[in-house]
Amino acid sequence: MFSKKKPSKIHIETVKMCKNKCGFYGNVQWQGYCSSCWREYNRENLKKTNHKTLPIPKQIVGIDESSDVPKSSPKTERKRRLKDVLKRKIDGKDSQEDRVNPYAQLTESLGKSKKDGALEILKKTRNVVDKIKSGITVENSSDIVQELYNSVAEKLETENAFIKLNMSERRTILDKLEKCVCQLTYSEVFSPPDDEQEDLTLQNRIRSLHWLNAQLLDAGIDETKPAASEALDSAIHAIVDLNSKQTPSDKLECIMLCSQHIMTALKASSDQPVSADNFLPALIFVVLRANPPLLKSNESYIMRFASPERLGSGEQAYYFTNLSGALQFIAQLDADSLSMPYEEFERYMRGEAIPGDPGKVYGCEQLRLMKLNFTVLEELLVGQKSLANEVEMLQTDMINFEQDFRRKLTEVIEKTPISLKKPIAPDAETPTDGSMLPSPLIPQSTGTLASIPVTTCFTGSTFEIDNSDETPSLL
């Protein structure tokens, strides 16, 4: 996927595999574990905690029953209103496929299964959805959804009701199951209050790092080149569009699309092969430039409700792990991370100075776009002139071809002239001697039969054939 390159001047922790050496990608948000090992690790810790501590009766500590229901503060209400506004924007971007009943899509994917097995999966799915809608915590919702994924995957592999399904059909069922659960419970599980607070913290952090450019991050993106700048804009659009999707698979698709545009920008910026040391700094630069809404909530949502196979291996898992590493780097970024003196870093953070950016010739974004448009117009003008020259050459070739063809045709006509006979009137008598036939079909005269001697093979006698109507007589 990547070529080797000298180490980057900034210190970024690269993507690593799971600490349990299970073969899947680890994630910094899971302390280096993959999703499956992280859940198992949490279960073990929960068991140890339950053995050590016992619940304290409410009567002992004087807790009133009414105090179990937390009162929402004005700040929390404001966050909820903000989240609702963003979700209304998301709902307005739903595709036609998203508006189809998710249960109907899941039922259609189970069409080749036996009825009992399909009904059992649908029943389990409905129970999980109803339980999430009843108001359980996001962590509990994540646990029961992951249990549903695992149980359905096991059923598809072991039970006779699904024995006729191939690997692709089983994968489709699991995809539709994930889409069904996530679409029906999105408003209940996406961006809880804790995640919203992390979103605000991350956005403020990104705003404070607005002075960082591609050169300081060693991103390897040359914005002065139109192809690289266009790919960079496409990458920013893709990662911003992440918040408009509802299912983990669609969100991961946006992350992968963003990463592919970053690869295109890196290739357009340099003739050298793209390396992993370039990609992660470039991804950090795109996140800082885009500052996507609710990015931390989207990351947590994918980690909680994506199927383990999506985050364990494959291209989507690799790019998502890089995004998590980029967010951690942004949160912990300091002067040492950039190999920069502490005093200089603090001046930039306080806004007392702005680092020079060779890729940013103009201080105004509109002027940069004008320069980019002029460059594109110049390229179009050069292409138009080249096309006009090719058209002129084609016209010259056509004229020469016509003249050469006429000359050769005249030579052929002069060498082999064609004589056409006069047409016969419709009432004229047609000759019977064959003179009107074409030359190859005109009969040829070979002389009279009377002068041809004939010798018999059995007596050696001869006889003559004359032109009379009498039968030849034997001499």
pLDDT band at 7; cut points 50, 70, 90: very low
Residue whose pair of structure tokens reads 């041809």 in the numeric block: 452
Going by C-alpha positions, the residue among 186, 191, 178, 175 that lies closest to residue 91 is 186
Average pLDDT over residues 448-462: 53
CA–CA distance, 302 with 242 (Å, rounded to integer): 11
Q: Coil, helix or strand for 462?
A: strand
Backbone angles phi, psi at 463, to 5 degrees: -140, 160
Lowest mean pLDDT among 39-43, 86-90, 271-275: 86-90
Report the DSSP beta bridge partners of residue 463: 454
Backbone angles phi, psi at 340, to 5 degrees: -125, 145
Lowest mean pLDDT among 73-82, 105-114, 311-320, 336-345: 73-82
pLDDT band at 323; cut points 50, 70, 90: very high
Q: Which two tokens stand for residue 174?
A: 């699991």
Task: Tell me the one-letter amino acid at 81.
Answer: R
Question: Following DSSP, what letter does each residue of 28-78 receive, concatenated?
Answer: GGGTT--HHHHHHHHHHHHHHHHHH--PPPHHHHT--GGGGSPPPPHHHHH
pLDDT band at 99; cut points 50, 70, 90: low
Residue of 425 and 57 predicted with greater confidence: 425
**DSSP secondary structure letter of residue 3:** B
Q: Which two tokens stand for residue 122?
A: 């649908």
Q: Coil, helix or strand for 463?
A: strand
Going by C-alpha positions, the residue among 198, 254, 268, 193 that lies closest to residue 226 is 268
Long-range contacts of 74-80 (CB under 8 A, 24+ apart): 76/193, 79/193, 79/196, 79/197, 80/193
Going by C-alpha positions, the residue among 290, 260, 293, 257 that lies closest to residue 274 is 260
Average pLDDT over residues 168-177: 92
Residue 368 in this model has a pLDDT that exceeds 50 = yes
Helix (H), strand (E) at residue 231: helix 226-240
Lowest mean pLDDT among 8-17, 99-108, 155-164, 306-315: 8-17
Residue-wise pLDDT for 223-234, tens only, equals 888 888 889 999
CA–CA distance, 194 with 201 (Å, rounded to integer): 11
Going by C-alpha positions, the residue among 327, 331, 297 that lies closest to residue 86 is 297
Average pLDDT over residues 253-259: 95
Residue 392: the pLDDT is: 95
Lowest mean pLDDT among 43-57, 194-208, 253-267: 43-57
Mean pLDDT of the residues in the chain:
78
CA–CA distance, 371 with 321 (Å, rounded to integer): 36
CA–CA distance, 254 with 235 (Å, rounded to integer): 9
Report the DSSP beta bridge partners of residue 158: none
For the chain, list the domains and their CATH numbers: 16-46 (no CATH), 97-189 (1.10.246.120), 194-350 (1.20.1050.80)
Residue-wise pLDDT for 374-388, tens only, equals 888 998 999 999 999
Residue 309: the pLDDT is: 84
Residue-wise pLDDT for 390-399, tens only, equals 999 999 999 9
Backbone angles phi, psi at 361, to 5 degrees: -70, -35
Residue 466 in this model has a pLDDT that exceeds 60 = no
Residue 59 in this model has a pLDDT that exceeds 60 = no
Backbone angles phi, psi at 271, to 5 degrees: -80, -10
Going by C-alpha positions, the residue among 262, 255, 205 that lies closest to residue 232 is 262
Residue-wise pLDDT for 192-211, tens only, equals 888 889 999 999 999 999 88
Residue 151: the pLDDT is: 92
Residues of 213-242 as b/e, b for ≥16 C-beta within 10 angstroms?
bbbbbbbbbbbebbebbbbbbbbbebbbbb
Average pLDDT over residues 108-133: 91
Q: Which two tokens stand for residue 339?
A: 């190999």
